[in-house]
Amino acid sequence: MKKLRDYITSKEIITKHQYLRCGYHYYEIKRGDDHEFFEFLRERVKDSYVDARYLAKVLKNEGFPGVAQLLEDTFPSEKAQFGVRTGEFGEVVTEILFEDVFDLLIPVKKLRYKTNRDKASFGIDVIAFKLADNEADDEIVFSEIKASKNKTYGIDEVIQETDELAAHSDKGRQKIRTTIRFISQRLFEDKQYELDNRISKFLEKSPDQQTTTSYYPCLIRDTETWGHDALDNKCFVNTPLGRTLVCVCALESLQKAIEEAYKINEAFNNDVAEIPE
């Protein structure tokens, strides 16, 4: 099975950005008219929204029509308010980047638990983990994300939100606790008790125990509009720079990639049409 790293055509790794003063990674993802890449995107987007085991159950019980309806009810509509589809696509791409390139663990896909398909989910955008051989060395990774064709959109907000988490303000501390508790509860319900106990230990740690916390803010952009100068004169205030990595993931024609990635239910409907009566 291919991973995102197989589609990276160029990457720029800067250990310390001139202005941000932290690590900086730039990844350029090929698109072109690559049918295989779009299929890869659709599968990973689908996995972020629907548990594969539940999808198999629906397919077995209701067939393709049931699956097509489930997907239609699950994904944000094309005209979702406040650009929800673009925002959630940014979350999905970040999850893929973390899993496929950084080998981080994302034990719960929070988009599967949305209560409204056209509104963004609560709390921190993406939370991931580095689990070490020694539990004392486990690390938690928080990411705030903005996806846009506009190269400067959301950069200040991402820095501000990351600073808020790192500063352990009352609001930031509550967001962290709520998000970890959400993941813990999902794991417990899924009977993944060992992993739940390990994740829950982050709730026991004092807020100033920064050695267990890293920050990987991500910007999902369009190769045609992105420019590295968008990060000029930007800087973090409260965020620990040694454990901060800013990632830019640029796709050729971001809008086309989003449109293709969400054509999943259309593919199932096509399959239904091909089933002989």
Query: For residue range 185-236, what is the model confidence (pLDDT) as tens digits?
Result: 999 999 999 999 999 988 876 555 545 889 999 999 999 999 999 999 999 9
Q: How confident is the model at residue 273 (pLDDT cuts 50, 70, 90)?
A: very low
Q: How many C-beta atoms surround the C-beta of residue 169 within 10 A?
A: 14
Q: Where are the beta strands (DSSP E) in 168-244?
A: 213-215, 218-222
* Extents of the domains making up the chain: 4-274
* Mean pLDDT of all residues in 114-141: 87
User: Which comes out higher in pLDDT, residue 49 or 118?
Assistant: 49
Structure tokens that stand for 200 in this block: 């829950």
Q: How many C-beta atoms surround the C-beta of residue 138 within 10 A?
A: 17
User: Which comes out higher in pLDDT, residue 218 or 114?
Assistant: 218
Residue 208's φ and ψ, nearest 5 degrees, are -90, 5
Residue 142's φ and ψ, nearest 5 degrees, are -105, 145
| pLDDT number for residue 34 | 77
Model confidence at 4: pLDDT above 50 = yes
Q: Is residue 36 packed enough to be buried (19+ CB in 10 Å), middle (13-18) or exposed (0-12)?
A: exposed
Exposure pattern of 75-96 as b/e (b: 16+ CB <10 Å)? bbeeebeebbbbbbbbbbbbbb
Lowest-confidence pick of 13-17, 57-61, 81-85, 109-113: 81-85
Structure tokens that stand for 235 in this block: 């800087």
Q: Is 167 helix (H, G, I), strand (E, B) or coil?
A: helix
Name 205's Cβ contacts closer than 8 Å, sequence gap at least 6: 212
The reported pTM is 0.91
Distance CA 228, CA 246 (A): 12
Structure tokens that stand for 159 in this block: 């820095």
| pLDDT number for residue 276 | 44
| pLDDT number for residue 216 | 97
Model pLDDT for residues 71-103, shown as the tens digit of each residue: 888 888 877 777 889 999 999 999 999 999 999
Residue 239's φ and ψ, nearest 5 degrees, are -80, 135
| pLDDT number for residue 277 | 44
| pLDDT number for residue 26 | 97
DSSP state at residue 149: S
Residue 208: name the closest of 178, 181, 173 by CA. 173
> Quick check: 140 and 214 in contact, CB under 8 A?
yes
Q: Report the alpha-carbon angle 55-90-105, nearest 5.
A: 65
Lowest-confidence pick of 105-109, 132-136, 203-207: 203-207
Distance CA 6, CA 96 (A): 12
* Mean pLDDT of all residues in 248-259: 92
125-193-178-129 Cα dihedral, nearest 10 degrees? -40
Mean pLDDT across the chain: 88
Name 94's Cβ contacts closer than 8 Å, sequence gap at least 6: 125, 126, 143, 145, 218, 220, 247, 249
DSSP state at residue 22: S
* Mean pLDDT of all residues in 114-138: 86
Residue 146: name the closest of 14, 51, 234 by CA. 234
